[in-house]
């Protein structure tokens, strides 16, 4: 008579199936983690672009509202720099906006500050005393993120 031997363990088929299922779970998890990290990085770059545009818009509109004069020519094509001027309380102010590399710079009576970084292009124009400033921010990233904002501000009247 044959004795029944109680064998314990796994067959080769069971091991292969379990390994395949584990591999599929790892692939799904790795893909999910990669997509999460990619979307987070891409979102951070988009936020950086919007913050740069917000900073540029703040300074352009702030100075534009105070300005009485500009070097912009009415109806001309947009240019990459502009000069604004005004007087208050006997003190004159001259503001020059220009792009230096990827920094939008503001020169106020000789004091230069960077008002926005990661700026790839600017364009200033004027039509009937309304200044239009278009700014494109594009932080360096592998995702090609960029954002564009256009600001309009009316010059004060002189006198």
Domain boundaries along the sequence of the chain: 12-154
pLDDT score of 3: 62
Percent of the chain at pLDDT exceeding 70: 94
- What pLDDT digit, counting tens, does each position of 78-125 carry? 999 999 999 988 899 999 999 999 999 999 999 999 999 999 999 999
Residue 12 or residue 56, greater confidence: 56
The SS3 of residue 141 is coil
The DSSP H or E segment spanning 59 is helix 12-66
- Cα 30 versus chain centre, distance: 29
């Amino acid at each position: 008579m044959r004795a029944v031997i109680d064998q314990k363990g796994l067959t080769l088929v069971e091991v292969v199936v379990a390994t395949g299922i584990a591999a599929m779970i790892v692939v799904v998890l790795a893909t999910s983690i990669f997509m999460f990290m990619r979307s987070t990085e891409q979102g951070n770059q988009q936020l950086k672009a919007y913050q740069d545009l917000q900073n540029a818009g703040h300074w352009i509109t702030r100075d534009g509202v105070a300005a009485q004069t500009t070097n912009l020519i009415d109806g001309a094509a947009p240019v990459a720099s502009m000069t604004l001027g005004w007087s208050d309380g006997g003190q004159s102010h001259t503001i020059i906006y220009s792009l230096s590399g990827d920094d939008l710079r503001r020169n106020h009576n000789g004091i230069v500050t960077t008002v926005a970084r990661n700026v790839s292009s600017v364009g200033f124009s004027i039509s009937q005393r309304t200044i239009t400033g278009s700014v494109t921010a594009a932080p360096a990233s592998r995702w090609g993120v960029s954002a564009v904002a256009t600001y309009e501000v009316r010059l004060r009247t002189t006198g």
